[in-house]
Structure 1
Amino acid sequence: MTDIHQQALSARADQAHALTTALGLAPQAWGVVAMSLLDRAEAMFAIKEAATGRYVHANPRMQALFGRSADGLVDEEWVDPQACAALRTADQSAMVVTVPQVSEHRLELGGVRREFSVTRLALPSADGGAAKYLCCIWQDLTPQRQAETQLQLALRQLEEQQQANETLRREMQDHGLRDSVTGLYQRGHFDDQLRREVDLSSREHREFALVSVALDPLGEAARASGSEGRKRVLEALGRLLRSNTRAMDASCRLSEDRFAVLLSGVGLATAHARMEGLRRQCATQLVMLNGQDLGFTVSMGVASFPHTAHTQEDLLQAADTALSQAQKRGGNHVTLASIRFEA
């Protein structure tokens, strides 16, 4: 132990002696206080011989942890080698300082993993020489850690339940907004989003595209399959419309065979390119029922705000007019609305 550490121990001893003398306390007063507080705190207390690591004293709670008497006991006799090495290292560290050292240890005792906090303090010798004994105060953290683990598990389960409830709420809310066959938004939600997009584009002077989509007359195989075949075609078209639109876009089923797609922040040329790709996907999509490919095609009319229309009503009309032209060309076609030029 260094001179500085020895001086610190001596200073503390002088303080304790001065206080004992000033209050007229018995020499053993501090020991009585310490032992009483340890019992009150239900702590496990032991004293070890610094040189050999042998226990020279242990209170009943500590002996219960050992499972035997502490006389002459060493750590190798009650813990595994790895835990013993960790205890010994902590002991040696505590012997060279004058302040209490705290460390945590995990021990496997009786087939049960337990966690402890150990506070160590070197005990000064009466002759002022190097400390020979080490005081160890053990606290069992196992119940506290188990309670913390259970609390974390309960909080995690509560959070998962809240997330599940929120997901269910959104799904139920979303379910009321979507068509049950195609999975696309219904007309009311689409109209709201279109109004918001018109307002946003008017304020920020940016464009967006609106696409009117119509299912072309079905082929013979699809007509022969009746309502089930028609449902299969609508389901396939709904999947393609959803997969070709982004989160900020909106796809809607307006009526039995009519659909609309809102492409946020997209110009006329980009909208045409994307819809042309969608048209090709529809034309080559396999829709199987009873071993037959039903197949289908769509016609599309693409309009842009504000290049082809300056109001929401004009935009809808422009997209429908372009769609009619695509249908007149025999279907399976994408037509652009005419760009308006202002004087």
Structure 2
Amino acid sequence: MDIQSANAQGMAGRPGSLQDWLQVQGLPDGGAAGALLSLAEPLGAFLAVKSLATGRYVYASAGLDRLFERTESSLVGSSDVDLMRGDEMQAMRRVEQAVMAQRTVVVSEHRLELGGRRRDFMVTRVPLGSDHIMSMWSERTEEKHRESHLQRALQQIEQQQKAMEQLRRESEKGSGRDDTSGLYLRAQFDDQLLREIDLSTREHREFALVLISLDPLPAEARHLQDEAQQRMLEGLGRMLRANTRAMDAACRVGEQLFAVLLSGVGLATAHARMEQLRRQCVSQIIVVQGMDLSLSLSMGVASFPHTASRQEELLGAAQSAIQEAQRRGGNQVVLAPIPFGSQA
């Protein structure tokens, strides 16, 4: 039987009320005690008053009698020693001492073994004069069970997510992908670049090479170096995967250096796409230990065959463009210059 049912059935045949008892005893029923009373009775909570001088209950609602499996009014005259285990009684006593010392309302949670079952209660206590404490009991056993089930479910979901992430990382290791960014590594990039140069040469078309570098962290975030860099690399990997086509190739080619091959794309289009990517990255806020950091990038864009027609020259031109972007303060897209007299 739950608290509200037990208390409602008990109070129906119980003579008098807590209000009557307070008046008979000459105890104050205003202030916090009156407020607690006005809230407790409509909610069907269990109510009790204990004498601090004797440690015995001088008033108890019928629901509390039923809770402790006592007959009508039998809880009155009993103490916690008669009702609870030693550790449970000591916990009750500590809270009561805090109530009288602070002279204010104190809410605490208790777990009691009743009828061979562990049950959870929230107990609100308020001092009545200098010798009595009034308490309101509300059972939370089912709520605690639900919270426990939810917590276990969340833990299982978290474990499953970690297992899936581990599988993803293991799969990426086998496929030549970087663990942190999820992008292909330098070996795959070099092969793809050679294929793109060969294909573009045979079909007389152009493509763009973009090198991307993470800008240094702001001074106020330097103490977060390792964790912040990890989060930045993960974030940049997500952005590159989301903003490149299937025919493009996005790779991590260095500690903080990334490369993107834009197949069939000219210099102007490549610049426009990278500028759009740069703005999207700046708007991505990465929170590290409560600090908001933006994803700031320096980009260098080179074009085949207009900037260069050989692999080393193309990479060198894009690297020089990145250095120029960094020299200007970072968070910029810089185009590599087209040499005078290059083919149209």
Give TM-score, length-normalised by structure 2: 0.48
Computing the radius of gyration from Cα coordinates, the structure with the larger value is 1
